[in-house]
């Protein structure tokens, strides 16, 4: 017992003991992070919004800072202006959660000032104590089990502004809502406040619609009839409150909507009405109250990013504002608060004056802006001025704002608010009274008014409106109310009130009662069919439970019909909480629909069905962002500034505008999963080309820009080395811009060879395409190696990469005025990308690199776990990197539930046998290799049967770039991309063997070759692997000599092709090859590539090495299948040339004819054999390839009697049809007699064109 007690004490001690955490700041260096700004950086730094570097650590658990344990620092020898210099380290601790697990982020800023001396921290140790409470308080608001919309008959109306509204029986009848009188208790109205939902999870918020009180007019025996109406109060003006910090009344505008909505139920069992309050005894009397005037117009977003929209440009200078105040009150303070901004590069007269009547009451001096494009677009100034005991000369307030730089009036008024005290009155149509200061006294409120038959409603609580008794006097009326909180009243007259705008009928819905799912799609009804297809795919292939939800229904229940991002997030969080620690835990959310930086449709042709989350910063390109991460931050305290918040689920977006785009992308996803809807029109060879399985899944393509002292190439090369050293199954392919010559053009330097190489490699396929360098919404690099035209020309639909783009705003999806390059990649019908982990705003090179490094670290771990969805890669990368604003500007365009096409099984090379009895290989040798397929646990998969691709790469070589960029010299990197051999073999019971042939032109120096394997079983899936243990070099002794070139058999479209035939306008070139030494496919083997030249034209000269597909049975045979682009009508020729592995060549020549959309014609109509005895076949040629042809063959006697009709339909994949067999029997199955017969061949194409040909046949019995 004593031992157990001691053990418990030990556990308690361990739990509460402090931790020492060490931060090392190594390799300080002054680095250029933008074109005009250099700052001191260090290893593993991050940048905050103000481009200040810090180091970050993410720890499991919650901790509090106890003390700085120790610190060592060094004095700076040079002047820097990184930021302000505190006397001790600036330390930030942010506690949060990741999927409910407590985490602490610690950020350290390492620059300090000691006794006026600037220093940099070298080592810092912190003493941390575990927090006492690290639990996750999920239940923060009222739990709603069922929405009020789940039953009843509902209708939605829009409220354009706050006030009293009226709905009459006649209006409901005209809207076909009512057809006859009903009991008034059946009518109920539900709504909610118009205050914007809080971003932070855990803040008090609406959970569903709530009932608001009604007052009925002209009921007859409690029946709502043709004379009846109902009035009610509804609000739509955002939130007005008095700030406790400065006692200023201010208005908070809803960022997402200027209107609100009510929901009318005509099938209620009871309703809430405006209650009548009792008369209270008065304890004090007031005659005046605080009031406010607020002017704010939202019409301009300077950088098309962020939440701020600015209005009132000083193009009209001065800006004049006026509002009534009556009766005027003297000797009361008047306070003015305003915010203005300007864009001027000069300080002279860069100021804005505010005049009240004729007196200048405030001057805002404006800072000048920088000419650097990524600095603040404008400079803001916020001013507040108080005029004590101000005396009004009139019953209105007249203000003018004057910008002093008249020659360059680039200035704007954001908002202006005036606080003042006025007599409580109904003059100037004022009907609301607000008392912002609670007194806890029964207060008699005197209203100066000439109105009669009025009522006063207490509307302080929208859901508990009450009517207060009034007493008339000589100057107006009074009423008494307990002012125990902020109070608001409205004066209700006996008059007709405006009606709300009818929106729609609302079918019953109950999202609050939704069950959890692993995967949800949020979209609009337009995309219902395609969204359901995607859910079906993931349910069937990935065993994910899935559901589809419409965004309008989410808005109805979670944001009172308003299109608020927080409404969607709150619904997602509901499902996240319900699924917590269950098999249906929420993992992936797909937003299917566009989003815009403009949530209120202020720009032309705006499309914003699924709103975006925008940053507070709206003037600085490097600090402003848009992110869908907001929808995936679902734990307590997350959701406002996002920095340090950790993603709990993966969120992706398909920015589709219409159903065709949605279908296109989802078709591509199906095909990525190797599920095709083959049309019978597709040629057999094309079906082979279409399969998404292939050795391209072993390749990762690294593309790098030049410039910036070779920084991009260094980073890209470092990433490729990480892949080579850790994720060894992949082949790193490199396209570094400076390795290719550049040439001058009217647009500056361009690199057409790099462009061609990139397009070719993308066409060949890659699992991941990773770009590092400069870019924008129209493409990559100033040398134009990848532009919109290149994207539109891509035809890689069966080999779609995941794009990782470490470049600026390549995929800015939230600008409806422009479709970015990244979006076009996703929407490209013939190929493009399967998804993009991509940038939507300006980003910085080194933080990009850190994120990219983390991505491959996560990929490596995910492959080992066997769980590799694109969404998981995205989420885990962001969590582990925790890189602040720069990370937020990376978004996932694509379906997060897609499994990255990484093969599940592994290929192992067991042995290599050659004639010299060693494990090395030499030129002209033909060793045999043996291997097997294994699972993640290293066991042979005996059930694996299929085929395997075998690729042999020559040893690694160094490449030195050309040094075209003047900021740096050449860059040297290692490459192992030279293919020596491509072969196929059968895999039987998990094992394979194959003979390979090493070409004569193999480099003679010794080094390690690289085998890359890719295998497919049609049932189990695919496998990949490599081996780098085999030495290659030298030439084999006693190698057999081959002096004959390859045997070539070429066709167009199909194997029936003959010289001079007509073919389709985009024919498929097919070449069957054989050579005893195998076919040479070494890339860049000067003069020995596989080539195809059409019409002797240089622009139709194709290198086909990559299209060679070896036979599964022997390395000596193979084929090339190459789809040609559409050619002109007329006669064409082609020359095909190929070398074998001993450098012997062969050529083949043919000619063919293309007729574009020709009139249907039949030629060479015949039957064979003719004469015949038992059966014959009918044949003919036509000119309607890729069309459906209805064929009828009628056989007549010489006298013209029809004895046999044969009908069939053919997909014309070739210009030849036949044989159509006939057994010599008539339509009744009886043999016909010996003799001569006439037959008619009739053909009708898809357009209804018809052609007939008559011939004779002879039957011999």
b/e 1097-1129 (16+ beta carbons within 10 angstroms → b): eeeeebebbbbbbbbbebbbbbbbbbebeebee
Final residue of a domain: which of 423, 446, 479? 423
For residue 422, which of 287, 275, 612 has the smallest C-alpha distance?
287
Final residue of a domain: which of 377, 400, 423? 423
Final residue of a domain: which of 1035, 1065, 1099? 1035
Query: What is the domain-level CATH number for residue 94?
Result: 2.60.40.3800
223 and 354 within one domain = no
Query: What is the domain-level CATH number for residue 1230?
Result: 2.60.40.4070
What is d(CA 819, CA 778) in angstroms, rounded to the nearest whole number? 9
The pLDDT of 305-330, averaged and rounded, is 89
- Helix (H) or strand (E) run with residue 1241 in it: strand 1235-1244
The pLDDT of 155-166, averaged and rounded, is 98
Contact 342, 349 (CB under 8 A): no
1133 and 1071 within one domain = yes
pLDDT winner (highest mean) among 1-5, 346-350, 1007-1011: 1007-1011
What is d(CA 215, CA 1009) in angstroms, rounded to the nearest whole number? 87
How much is the pLDDT for 1157? 66
Query: What is the domain-level CATH number for residue 370?
Result: 2.60.120
Contact 554, 511 (CB under 8 A): yes
729 and 836 within one domain = yes
pLDDT digits (tens, 9 = 90+) for 527-554: 999 999 999 999 999 999 999 999 999 9
Query: Is pLDDT at 36 greater than 70 in this prediction?
Result: no
């003799």: which residue's tokens?
Answer: 1235
Q: Is residue 566 assigned to a domain? A: no
The pLDDT of 223-234, averaged and rounded, is 97
Contact 586, 285 (CB under 8 A): no
1055 and 989 within one domain = no
What is d(CA 87, CA 728) in angstroms, rounded to the nearest whole number? 48
Q: Is residue 717 assigned to a domain? A: yes
What is d(CA 564, CA 205) in angstroms, rounded to the nearest whole number? 13
DSSP string for 734-796: EEEGGGS--B--TTS-B-HHHHHHHHHHHHH--SEEEEES-EETTEETTTTSEEHHHHHT---
The number of distinct structural domains making up the chain is 7
For residue 541, which of 679, 669, 661 has the smallest C-alpha distance?
669
Contact 976, 955 (CB under 8 A): yes
pTM: 0.87
Please state, for a pLDDT cut of 70, what percent of the chain lies above it: 95
Query: Is pLDDT at 444 greater than 80 in this prediction?
Result: yes
Q: Under DSSP, is residue 1214 helix (H, G, I), strand (E, B) or coil?
A: coil
Report which of residues 1123 and 866 the model is more confident about.
1123
Q: Where are the alpha helices (DSSP H) in 925-1043?
A: none
Q: Is residue 353 assigned to a domain? A: yes
The mean pLDDT value of the chain amounts to: 90
**Peptide bond before 318: cis, by omega within 30 degrees of 0?**
yes
The pLDDT of 357-363, averaged and rounded, is 92
The rounded radius of gyration (Å) of the Cα atoms in the chain is 38
How much is the pLDDT for 874? 97
How much is the pLDDT for 968? 78
213 and 188 within one domain = yes
917 and 881 within one domain = no
The pLDDT of 80-101, averaged and rounded, is 80
Quick one: pLDDT band at residue 134, thresholds 50, 70, 90? low
How many of the other CB atoms lie within 10 Å of CB of 447?
23
pLDDT digits (tens, 9 = 90+) for 660-683: 999 999 999 999 998 875 433 334
Q: Is residue 751 assigned to a domain? A: yes
Query: Is pLDDT at 799 greater than 70 in this prediction?
Result: yes
What is d(CA 884, CA 877) in angstroms, rounded to the nearest whole number? 13
811 and 764 within one domain = yes
Which two tokens mark 782? 């100033």
Quick one: pLDDT band at residue 51, thresholds 50, 70, 90? confident
Q: Under DSSP, is residue 1103 helix (H, G, I), strand (E, B) or coil?
A: strand
Q: Is residue 487 assigned to a domain? A: yes
What is d(CA 441, CA 280) in angstroms, rounded to the nearest whole number? 10
Q: Under DSSP, is residue 303 helix (H, G, I), strand (E, B) or coil?
A: coil
Q: Is residue 889 assigned to a domain? A: yes
pLDDT digits (tens, 9 = 90+) for 598-654: 999 999 999 999 999 999 999 999 889 999 999 999 998 898 877 778 999 999 999
pLDDT digits (tens, 9 = 90+) for 685-734: 444 445 788 999 999 999 999 988 899 999 999 999 999 888 878 999 99
DSSP string for 1014-1058: EEEETTTEEEEEEE---EEEEE-TTPPP---PPEEEEEESBTT--
Distance of CA 68 to the CA centre of its chain: 42
711 and 826 within one domain = yes
369 and 409 within one domain = yes
Length reported for the chain: 1261
Query: What is the domain-level CATH number for residue 734?
Result: 3.40.50.1460
User: Which structural domain, as residue segments, surrounds residue 481?
Assistant: 148-282+433-504
């409106």: which residue's tokens?
Answer: 465
Q: Is residue 522 assigned to a domain? A: no
Contact 502, 175 (CB under 8 A): yes
Which two tokens mark 115? 């006794």
The pLDDT of 224-236, averaged and rounded, is 97
1146 and 1241 within one domain = no
Q: Is residue 666 assigned to a domain? A: no
pLDDT digits (tens, 9 = 90+) for 250-283: 999 999 999 999 999 999 999 999 999 999 999 9
pLDDT digits (tens, 9 = 90+) for 1095-1122: 999 899 999 988 899 988 899 999 999 9
Query: What is the domain-level CATH number for residue 1113?
Result: 2.60.40.10
pLDDT digits (tens, 9 = 90+) for 995-1042: 999 999 899 999 999 999 999 998 999 999 999 999 999 998 888 888
212 and 154 within one domain = yes
454 and 360 within one domain = no
Query: Is pLDDT at 1091 greater than 90 in this prediction?
Result: yes
What is d(CA 78, CA 80) in angstroms, rounded to the nearest whole number? 6
């Amino acid at each position: 017992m004593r031992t157990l007690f001691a053990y418990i004490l030990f556990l308690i001690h361990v739990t509460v003991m402090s931790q020492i955490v060490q931060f090392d700041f190594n390799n300080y260096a002054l680095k250029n992070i933008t074109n005009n700004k250099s700052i001191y950086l260090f290893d593993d730094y991050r940048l905050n919004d103000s481009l200040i570097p810090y180091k970050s650590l993410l720890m499991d658990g919650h901790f509090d800072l106890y003390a700085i344990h120790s610190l060592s620092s060094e004095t700076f020898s040079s002047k820097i202006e990184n930021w302000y210099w505190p006397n001790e380290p600036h330390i930030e601790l942010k506690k949060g959660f990741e999927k409910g697990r407590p985490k602490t982020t610690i950020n350290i800023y390492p620059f300090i000032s000691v006794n006026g001396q600037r220093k940099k921290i070298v080592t810092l140790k912190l003493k941390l104590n575990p927090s006492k409470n690290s639990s996750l308080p999920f239940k923060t608001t009222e739990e709603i089990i069922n929405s009020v919309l789940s039953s009843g008959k509902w209708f939605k109306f829009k409220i354009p502004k706050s006030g009293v509204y009226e709905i009459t029986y006649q209006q409901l009848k005209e809207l076909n809502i009512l057809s006859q009188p009903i009991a008034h208790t059946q009518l109920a109205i539900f709504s909610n406040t118009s205050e914007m939902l809080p971003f932070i999870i855990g803040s008090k918020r609406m959970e569903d619609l709530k009932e608001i009180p009604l007052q009925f007019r002209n009921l007859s025996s409690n029946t709502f009839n043709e004379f009846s109406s109902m009035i009610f109060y509804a609000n739509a003006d955002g939130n007005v409150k008095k700030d406790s910090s400065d006692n200023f009344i201010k208005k908070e505008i809803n960022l997402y909507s200027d209107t609100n909505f009510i929901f009318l139920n005509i099938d209620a069992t009871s309703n809430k009405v405006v209650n009548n309050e009792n008369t209270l005894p008065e304890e004090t009397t007031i005659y005046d109250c605080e009031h406010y005037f607020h002017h704010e117009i939202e019409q301009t977003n300077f950088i098309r990013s962020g939440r701020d929209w600015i209005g009132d440009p000083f193009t009209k200078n001065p800006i004049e504002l006026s509002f009534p105040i009556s009766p005027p009150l003297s000797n009361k303070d008047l306070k003015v608060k305003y915010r203005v901004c300007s864009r001027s590069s000069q300080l002279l007269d860069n100021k804005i004056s505010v005049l009240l009547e004729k007196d200048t009451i405030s001057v805002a001096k404006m800072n000048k802006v920088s000419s650097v494009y990524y600095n603040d677009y404008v400079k803001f100034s916020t001013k507040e001025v108080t005029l004590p005991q101000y005396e009004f000369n009139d019953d209105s307030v007249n203000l003018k704002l004057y910008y002093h730089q008249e020659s360059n009036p680039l200035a704007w008024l954001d908002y202006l608010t005036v606080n003042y005290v006025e007599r409580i009155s109904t003059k100037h149509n004022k009907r609301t009274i607000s008392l912002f200061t609670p007194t806890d006294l029964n207060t008699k409120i005197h209203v100066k008014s000439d109105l009669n038959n009025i009522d006063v409603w207490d509307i302080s609580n929208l859901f508990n409106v009450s009517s207060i008794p009034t007493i008339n006097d000589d100057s107006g009326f009074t009423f008494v109310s307990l002012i125990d909180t902020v109070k608001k009243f409205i004066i209700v007259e006996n008059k007709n009130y405006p009606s709300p705008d009818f929106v729609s009928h609302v079918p019953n819905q109950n999202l609050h009662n939704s069950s959890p799912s692993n995967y949800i799609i949020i979209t609009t009804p337009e995309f219902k069919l395609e969204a359901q297809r995607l859910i079906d795919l993931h349910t069937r292939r990935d065993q994910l439970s899935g559901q589809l939800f419409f965004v309008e229904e989410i808005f109805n229940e979670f944001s009172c019909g308003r299109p608020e991002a927080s409404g969607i997030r709150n619904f997602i969080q509901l499902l996240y909480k319900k699924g917590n620690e269950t098999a249906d835990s929420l993992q992936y959310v797909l937003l299917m629909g566009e989003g815009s930086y403009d949530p209120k449709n202020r720009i032309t042709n705006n499309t914003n069905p699924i709103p975006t989350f925008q940053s507070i910063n709206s003037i600085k390109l490097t600090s402003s962002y848009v992110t869908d991460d907001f929808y995936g931050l679902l734990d307590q305290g997350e959701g406002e500034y996002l920095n340090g918040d950790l993603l709990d689920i993966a969120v992706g977006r398909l920015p589709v505008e219409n159903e065709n785009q949605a279908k296109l992308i989802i078709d591509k996803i199906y095909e990525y999963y190797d599920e095709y809807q083959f049309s019978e029109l597709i040629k057999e060879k094309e079906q082979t080309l279409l399969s998404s399985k292939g050795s391209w899944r072993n390749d990762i393509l690294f593309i790098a820009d030049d410039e910036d002292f070779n920084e991009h190439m260094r980073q890209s090369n470092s990433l490729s080395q990480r892949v080579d050293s850790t994720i060894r199954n992949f082949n790193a392919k490199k396209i570094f811009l400076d390795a290719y010559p550049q040439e001058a053009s009217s647009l500056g330097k361009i690199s057409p060879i790099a462009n061609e190489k990139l397009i070719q490699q993308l066409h060949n396929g890659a699992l991941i395409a990773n770009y590092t360098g400069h870019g924008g919404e129209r493409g990559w690099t100033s040398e134009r190696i990848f532009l919109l035209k290149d994207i539109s020309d891509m035809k890689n639909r069966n080999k779609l990469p995941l794009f990782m783009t470490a470049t600026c705003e390549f995929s800015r999806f939230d600008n409806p005025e422009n479709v970015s390059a990244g979006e076009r990649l996703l929407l490209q019908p013939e190929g493009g990308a399967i998804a993009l982990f991509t940038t939507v705003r300006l980003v910085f090179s080194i933080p990009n690199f850190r994120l990219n490094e983390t991505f491959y670290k996560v990929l490596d771990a995910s492959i080992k776990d066997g769980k590799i969805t694109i969404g998981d890669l995205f989420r885990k990368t962001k969590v582990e990197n925790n890189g602040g604003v720069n990370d937020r500007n990376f978004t996932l365009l694509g379906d997060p539930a897609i499994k990255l096409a990484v093969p599940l099984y592994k290929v192992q090379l067991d042995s290599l046998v050659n004639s010299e009895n060693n494990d090395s290989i030499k030129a002209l040798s033909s060793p045999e290799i043996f291997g097997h397929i294994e699972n993640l646990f290293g066991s042979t998969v005996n059930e694996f049967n299929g085929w395997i691709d075998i690729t042999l790469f020559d040893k690694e070589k160094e490449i030195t770039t050309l040094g075209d960029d003047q900021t740096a010299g050449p860059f040297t990197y290692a490459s192992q991309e030279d293919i020596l051999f491509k072969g196929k073999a059968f895999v039987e019971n998990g094992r394979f063997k194959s003979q390979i042939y090493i070409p004569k032109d193999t480099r003679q120096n010794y080094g390690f070759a690289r085998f890359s394997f890719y295998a497919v079983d049609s049932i189990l899936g695919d496998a990949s692997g490599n081996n780098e243990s085999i030495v290659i070099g030298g030439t084999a002794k006693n190698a057999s000599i081959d002096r004959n070139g390859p045997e070539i058999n070429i066709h167009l479209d199909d194997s029936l092709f003959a010289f001079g035939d007509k073919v389709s306008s985009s024919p498929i070139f097919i070449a069957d090859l054989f050579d005893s030494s195998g076919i040479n496919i070494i890339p860049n083997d000067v003069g020995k590539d596989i080539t195809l030249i059409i019409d002797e034209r240089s622009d139709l000269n194709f290198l086909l090495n990559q299209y060679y597909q070896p036979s599964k049975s022997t390395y000596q045979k193979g084929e090339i299948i190459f789809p040609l682009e559409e050619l002109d009508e007329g006669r064409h020729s082609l020359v095909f040339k190929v070398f074998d592995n001993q450098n012997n060549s062969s050529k083949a020549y043919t000619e063919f004819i293309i007729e574009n959309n020709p009139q249907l014609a039949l030629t060479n109509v015949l039957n064979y054999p003719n004469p015949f005895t038992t059966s014959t076949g009918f044949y003919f040629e036509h000119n309607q390839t890729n069309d459906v042809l209805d064929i009828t063959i009628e056989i007549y006697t010489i006298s013209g009697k029809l004895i046999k009709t044969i009908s069939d339909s053919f997909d014309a994949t070739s210009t030849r049809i036949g044989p159509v067999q006939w057994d010599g029997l008539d339509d009744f199955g009886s043999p016909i007699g010996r003799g001569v017969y006439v037959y008619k061949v009739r053909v009708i194409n898809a357009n209804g064109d018809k052609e007939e040909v008559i011939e004779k046949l002879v039957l011999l019995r």
